[in-house]
């Protein structure tokens, strides 16, 4: 999401901002439990309906706020539309990977991906935006690379779910940064889902003609959960947008770690996913690198990498 920075730093705004931030990241943190309600539908079907019902929910909100025409007029800007479309493609990859991880018992890998994401964001800033890092930031990046190697050795393979989540969302954030501040959270999600809707509809048709849709055949509860996925997608984004206007960016950047922490708790404590020694070692190294980045961000007064914050699944 793009932000215009905090609108105030008084105690009241700070308190409301923190409440909204924790609400957004807390909801994202427990999303795995919600997506388990959508089984036995597969990731492709779930993502397709998530896009379509998110679009319906956004359209209702835009109509209620009298902003539908304003948002649709943004489509006249071809350059903006192309960038939003690319951003939408990256977030669809992110959503699909996250839901695949959830329904196949890889929630811990998903949590690792969102812990790695800030490091990926730093790397993208260096490679694509040509930003320069301080030595301490390079140390954090190096530690995170070692962490991935440790986990890969323990797995006997690369943690591709984690890496795909981290890079897809990092690239999504990069596109949002290039879009700039003219598109707020609701408008952005509306346009992204609108542009992705034809592909989502095509995916629904392919699944219907192939293995068959689960939606409508797995009971009322599952069908209601699928319809509700639109609300579940949009509400945390709206909380996030409110938090971003009220909080200093350095504070908002640190609250985002609530999401992978909760996902890790859900994966280990509730879903009983295994945590090998190599996993714990890798997570510990990632946490060390994130602490280094966080301390450096505060010392720089909330500038630098702390400005590149965003939403998650």
The 10s digit of each residue's pLDDT in 128-172 is: 877 777 888 788 888 888 888 888 887 778 889 999 999 998 888
Rounded Cα distance, 92 and 137, in Å: 30
With beta carbons less than 8 A apart as the criterion, state whether 46 and 35 touch: yes
| Largest CA-CA distance found in the chain, in angstroms, rounded | 57
**Predicted local confidence at residue 252, as pLDDT:** 65
Alpha-carbon span 177 to 1, nearest angstrom: 8
What tens digit of pLDDT does each residue of 86-95 get? Answer: 989 998 999 9
Please report the pLDDT score of residue 167 as a whole number.
92
For CA atoms 176, 5, 27, 221, give the dihedral sign.
Answer: negative
* Nearest by Cα to 286 from 161, 149, 167: 149
CB atoms within 10 A of CB 203: 20
What does the pLDDT read at residue 57?
93
HSE, side-chain direction, 13 A CA sphere, residue 96: 13
The DSSP output letter for 215 is T
DSSP 44: H
Whose CA is closest to 47, among 173, 185, 226?
226
The answer on pLDDT for 309 being more than 70 is no
Q: Where are the domains of the chain?
A: 11-307
CA torsion sign for 289, 292, 295, 300 is negative
Angle, helices 160-179/135-155, rounded to nearest 10 degrees: 150
Q: Inform me whether the pLDDT recorded for 296 exceeds 60.
A: yes
Distance CA 120, CA 141 (A): 8
pLDDT of residue 131: 74
> The tokens 């400005």 sit on which residue?
307
CA distance 295 to 287: 12
3-state SS assignment for residue 275: coil
- How would you label 66-102 residue by residue, b for 16+ Cβ within 10 Å and e otherwise? eebeebeebeeeeebeebbebbbbbbbbbbbbbbbbb
Kindly report whether the global pTM for this prediction surpasses the value 0.85. no
Report the pLDDT value the prediction gives residue 308, as an integer from 0 to 100. Answer: 44
Lowest mean pLDDT among 15-19, 162-166, 175-179, 180-184: 180-184
């Amino acid at each position: 999401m793009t932000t215009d920075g905090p609108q105030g730093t008084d105690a009241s705004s700070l308190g409301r901002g923190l409440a909204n931030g924790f609400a957004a990241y807390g909801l994202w943190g427990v999303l795995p439990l919600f997506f388990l309600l959508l089984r036995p539908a597969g990731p492709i079907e779930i993502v397709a309906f998530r896009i379509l019902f998110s679009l319906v929910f956004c359209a209702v909100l835009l109509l209620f706020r009298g902003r539908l025409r304003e948002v649709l007029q943004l489509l006249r800007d071809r350059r903006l539309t192309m960038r939003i479309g690319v951003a939408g493609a990256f977030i669809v990859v992110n959503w699909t990977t996250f839901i695949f991880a959830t329904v196949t018992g890889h929630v811990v890998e998903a949590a690792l991906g969102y812990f790695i994401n800030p490091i990926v964001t730093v790397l993208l800033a260096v490679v694509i935006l040509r930003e320069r890092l301080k030595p301490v930031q390079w140390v954090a990046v190096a530690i995170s690379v070692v962490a991935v190697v440790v986990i890969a050795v323990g797995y006997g393979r690369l943690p591709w779910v984690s890496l795909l989540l981290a890079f897809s969302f990092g690239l999504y954030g990069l596109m949002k940064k290039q879009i700039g501040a003219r598109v707020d959270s609701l408008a952005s999600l509306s346009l992204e889902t609108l542009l992705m809707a034809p592909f989502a509809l095509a995916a629904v048709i392919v699944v219907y003609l192939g293995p068959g849709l689960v939606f409508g055949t797995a009971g009322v509860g599952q069908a209601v959960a699928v319809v509700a996925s639109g609300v579940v997608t949009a509400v945390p984004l709206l909380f996030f947008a409110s938090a971003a206007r009220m909080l200093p960016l350095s504070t908002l950047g640190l609250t985002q770690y609530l999401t992978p922490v909760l996902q890790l708790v859900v994966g280990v404590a509730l879903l009983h996913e295994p945590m090998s020694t190599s996993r714990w070692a890798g997570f510990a190294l990632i946490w060390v690198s994130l602490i280094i980045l966080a301390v450096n961000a505060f010392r720089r007064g909330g500038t630098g990498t702390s400005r590149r914050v965003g939403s998650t699944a």
